[in-house]
Chain A
Amino acid sequence: MKFTIDGLEISAEQDDTIMDASRRAEVFIPGLCYSSSTEPTHSCRLCMVEVEEKNSLRLVAACAYKVKENLKVVTTTERVSKVRKTILKHLYSMAPENPAIMELMNLYKIEKAPIIKEKKSHCILCGRCVKACEKLGISAISTVNRGVTKEINTPYGKPAEYCMGCGSCSEVCPTKCITIKDNEEGRTIWHKHFEWARCEKCGVIVTTKEHFANSNPNNTPVVCPVCKRRYMTDVFADTFGE
């Protein structure tokens, strides 16, 4: 399937959204809650573009709108830049001076509005972390409260029983606002402390013990990828007597 973004022809697969296809083709449309690997949340609204429908233009979210054959997408209209500006200013007020937001503000030459209130977290409530954890089958975190006190947290703000300290939530977070503390002993994330699973051969950190146990069959020895390869080579050498 072919369609165009600002006149540039792009190919798309069945069920692709405009965002899926554009990211694959490396045509940039901003979007902070989008990730090709987790379920979309359509929450940041930064990806608004216009599509041509029945000879008129309509504002749609690129991460939600499914591509059709010969679809015309435009991202350079007055309306798009206006919406984008409003949304970025709003995101800026949620996460002042956050690098991910500043990068976009600079890219679109948007002036900063004065910061009204210092924020204790740069969370923009995009929901990516929740989706990432859900995809792992854990669902340790969710949105808590409503309105101005809404945040992402574990139930009761206590260590969550099933959280395995994998850090996937923090990895997908666009504003990198999930506190994750790693040191020699282990990792602390979401009010919970985890010990490292270290490679039995060389001692490097593989991941947390809980994460390792959850992603491997029982009693799998902890071996890092490098040592595993080395070990396999030894096995081959033994077997073939080289």
Chain B
Amino acid sequence: MNDKKRSIEEILITFPSAKRFSLAILQEVQKEYKYISPDNLKAISNYLAIPISDIFSMATYYKSLSLEKKGEFIIKVCDGTACHIRGSLSVLDEVKRALNINEGETTPDGLFSLEIVNCVGACAMAPVVICNQDYFGNVKLGKAKEIINSCVKAVD
């Protein structure tokens, strides 16, 4: 997890310089740096020769892109109807307490961000918590900490 990040130039060079790649590049930059920094925004705009305002517009439109640095692990607590009925808010509370942050925030060590999502299509196993690519279903009360720890371990 601590291997060196690719530079913005290294990322850009893997894409042709054409407008239709703007979203793909933004996603790649988001993945690498966990956010779109002002400098990187400018670099993308220069590389594709499209106005900064256009790139900024995209960066603020898509939910998967952010202008503020997100954690290495993004914990999503589903609060869709099914999960809600099956106690997602208590799960959310637990996660909040475990990480000591609110939804939309990132821990000071830059490890975790917390988000609420609306139905991830896994209602049968409600309530659902997602950590990066991993889904956790039928989350019982008191399990939040365990889930968080297991994510960190899997990567270490």
Contacts and interface: CB of A to CB of B under 8 A. Distances in A.
Note whether A and B form a binding pair. Answer: yes
B60 to A, nearest CB: 5
Given A139-B51, A155-B41, A156-B38, A145 B61 contact: yes
Contacts of A155: 41, 52-53, 56
A154 interface: yes
Nearest to A144: B60
B39 interface: no
B38 A142 contact: no
Contact of B57 (A138, A142, A160): A142
Task: Say whether chain B's binding surface is mostly helix, strand, loop, or mixed.
Answer: helix
B53 A140 contact: yes
A141 interface: yes
Given A155-B41, A156-B38, A139 B60 contact: no
Main secondary structure on A side of the interface with B: loop
B109 interface: no
B57 A143 contact: yes
Contacts of A144: 56-57, 60
Interface string B38-61: 100100000000011110110011
A145 B60 contact: yes
A140 B51 CA distance: 8
Interface of B: 38, 41, 51-54, 56-57, 60-61, 63
23 contacts: A134-B51, A138-B51, A139-B51, A139-B53, A140-B51, A141-B53, A142-B51, A142-B54, A142-B56, A143-B57, A144-B56, A145-B61, A146-B60, A146-B61, A146-B63, A154-B53, A155-B41, A155-B52, A155-B56, A156-B38, A156-B56, A160-B52, A161-B52
Interface of A: 134, 138-146, 154-156, 160-162
